[in-house]
Amino acid sequence: MNDGGFVSRRELVQQLRALCARRLTGMVFLVTEDNRMLQMRLERGEIVQVTHRNRRGLEALMAVSGAGRGRLRFDASSVASTVRDELTTEMAFDALLAETGESRPVEPPAGSFVLPAEMKSTIQSVMVRYVGPMAEYICQEQFERATDVPSLVRSLAAEIPSLDRATKFRAEMAGMLGLA
């Protein structure tokens, strides 16, 4: 079953914490399964602004609190506003995790997974055959989130609209990359 790349709230926070740990600057776009979008501006790994429609800060976070699953996309080229919310990064994590019953956010996995450039190129060239020119964008997003090769292949397969073609993609990748 294709889940559209949506992950649990816990996994979303893990992904967001990993971006913050890398001290990135840019925009994080969080889209929920029920199609609500939250935008978070990062400056050197700190969440400095959160917006959802006409809401900001904690109010914006609370507006999407009922949505369980979602997906993140990070864009380093989008750094528009200089306005800062009166919100700390930890406050944002706590608000995102409020409904899960966890009092503190989950730490990102120790060490970061680095995929060799040659393997990225191979995977992306195969992905182009399955989804066309969007493969570059999809692959870039998934490469940033990857924790290992098998989960990367599963995540990429979830981006392929046809279940049959997604299965073929997984099989092709398993053969090329020596996955069991």
Q: Are residue 80 and residue 146 in the same domain, yes or no?
A: no
Total domains in the chain come to 2
Which of 75, 100, 125 is at the close of a domain?
Answer: 100
Measured CA to CA, the distance from residue 109 to residue 18 in angstroms comes to 8
Instruction: Dump pLDDT digits (tens) for 5-23.
Output: 788 888 888 888 888 888 8
- Asked if residue 110 is part of any domain, the answer here is no
Alpha-helical (H) ranges within 79-148 are: 89-97, 117-131, 135-145
pLDDT of residue 105: 42
Let me know if residue 30 belongs to a domain. Answer: yes
Same domain, 91 and 33: yes
Closest listed residue to residue 11, CA positions, set 145, 153, 135: 145
Q: Are residues 80 and 143 in the same domain?
A: no
Residue 48 lies in a domain: yes
Residue 71 CB contacts under 8 Å (≥ 6 apart), including other chains: 4, 5, 6, 7, 12, 30, 31
Distance between CA 178 and CA 119 in Å, rounded? 12
Do 22 and 91 share a domain, yes or no? yes
- Residues 89 and 151 reside in one and the same domain: no
Same domain, 65 and 143: no
Q: Is residue 108 part of a domain?
A: no
Walk along the chain (180 residues) in steps of 10 and give the mean pLDDT of each run.
Answer: 74 86 87 86 86 85 78 81 65 68 48 74 93 88 83 88 91 83
Amino acid 13: pLDDT:
84
pLDDT at 79: 66
In a domain, residue 52? The reply is yes
Termini Cα distance of the chain: 20
What is the reported pLDDT for 102?
A: 53
pLDDT of residue 164: 92
Domain coverage including residue 149 = 117-177
In-domain check, residue 165: yes
